[in-house]
A and B are shown apart, each in its own frame.
Chain A
Amino acid sequence: MTTVLDTRGGTSPTVPGDVETHDVEAVNQAERRKLYASREKVYPKLAHGQFRTVKWVVMAVTLGIYYALPWLRWHRGPDLPDQAVLIDMANNRYFFFFLEIWPQEFYYVTGLLVLSALALFLATAVAGRVWCGYTCPQTVWTDLMVTVERFWQGDRNARIRLDKERWGPVKIFKKAMTHLSWLLIGVLTGGALIFYFRDAPTLAVELVTGTAPPIAYLFLGIFAFTTYLLGGIAREQVCIYMCPWPRIQGAMTDRYTLLVSYKPERGEPRGPARKAKDGTVDWSARGDCIDCKACVAVCPTGIDIRDGSQLECIQCALCIDACNEIMDKIGRPRDLIAYDTIAKQEAKAKGEHEPHRFVRPRTILYSGVLALVGIVMLAAWFARTTLEVNVQRDRNPPFVRLSEGGVRNGFTVKILNKLHEPRRYAIAAEGLPGASLRIIGFEGAADPLVEVGTDTLRELRLLISIPERDLSALKSPSQDFDIVVRDTGTGAVTRRRTSFQIGGGTQ
Chain B
Amino acid sequence: MTKKHEVDHVTGVETTGHEWDGIKELNKPLPRWWLLTFYASIVWAIGYWIVYPAWPLANDYTRGIWGYSQRATVAAEVKAGIDAQAGQRAALDKTPLADVRKNPELLRFAMAAGAASFQTNCAACHGRGAQGFVGYPNLNDDDWIWGGSVEDIHKTILHGIRSDAAEARNSAMPRFGIDNMLDKAQIDQAAEYVLSLSGKSTDAAVAAKGAVIFKEQCASCHGPEGKGIVEQGAPNLTDGIWLYGGGKEQVVESIRTGRGGMMPAWQPRLDSVTLKSLAIYVHSLGGGK
Contacts and interface: CB of A to CB of B under 8 A. Distances in A.
Interface of A: 394-397, 400-405, 408, 410, 438, 440-441, 443, 458-459, 461, 463
Given A410-B285, A410-B286, A441-B104, A397 B131 contact: yes
Contacts of B101: 440-441, 443
Contact of B129 (A396, A408, A440): A396
Interface of B: 101-102, 104, 107-108, 111, 127-131, 138, 140-143, 236, 239-241, 284-287
B141 A440 contact: no
Contacts of B140: 397, 400, 408, 410
Pairs of residues from A and B, 10 with the lowest C-beta to C-beta distance, nearest first: A396-B129, A403-B239, A397-B131, A400-B140, A403-B143, A440-B284, A463-B286, A441-B101, A441-B107, A397-B129
A397 B108 CA distance: 21
Contacts of B239: 403-405
Contacts of A404: 239-240
A410 B288 CA distance: 13
Contacts of B241: 401-403
A296 B240 CA distance: 94
Contacts of B131: 396-397, 400
B129 A403 contact: no
Contact of A400 (B111, B236, B286): B286
Interface centre among A438, A441, A461 (most CB of B within 10 A): A441
Contacts of A458: 104
A408 B104 contact: no
Contacts of B102: 441
The SS class assigned to the A binding surface is loop
A408 B286 contact: yes
B240 A405 contact: yes
Given A397-B129, A440-B284, A402 B142 contact: yes
A403 B227 CA distance: 11
The SS class assigned to the B binding surface is loop
Nearest to A397: B131
Contacts of B129: 394-397
A401 B241 CA distance: 8
B133 to A, nearest CB: 11
A461 B111 contact: yes
Nearest to B236: A403
B219 to A, nearest CB: 20
B104 A401 contact: no
A330 to B, nearest CB: 55
Given A395-B129, A397-B130, A403-B143, 9 more contacts: A397-B129, A397-B140, A400-B140, A405-B239, A408-B140, A408-B142, A408-B286, A440-B107, A441-B107
B127 A396 contact: yes
12 contacts: A394-B129, A396-B127, A400-B138, A400-B287, A401-B241, A402-B142, A408-B140, A408-B141, A408-B142, A440-B101, A441-B102, A459-B108
Nearest to B129: A396
B141 A401 contact: yes
Contacts of A403: 141-143, 236, 239-241
Interface centre among B127, B143, B285 (most CB of A within 10 A): B285
Contacts of A438: 286
A408 B139 CA distance: 13
B105 to A, nearest CB: 10
Interface centre among B111, B131, B286 (most CB of A within 10 A): B286
A397 B141 CA distance: 10
Contacts of B130: 397
Contacts of B143: 402-403
A438 B104 CA distance: 15
A463 B239 CA distance: 20
A187 B107 CA distance: 48
B240 A401 contact: yes
B149 to A, nearest CB: 12
Contacts of A401: 141, 240-241
A403 B104 CA distance: 29
Contacts of A397: 129-131, 138, 140
A400 B141 contact: yes
Contacts of A396: 127-129, 131
Nearest to A395: B129
Nearest to A410: B286
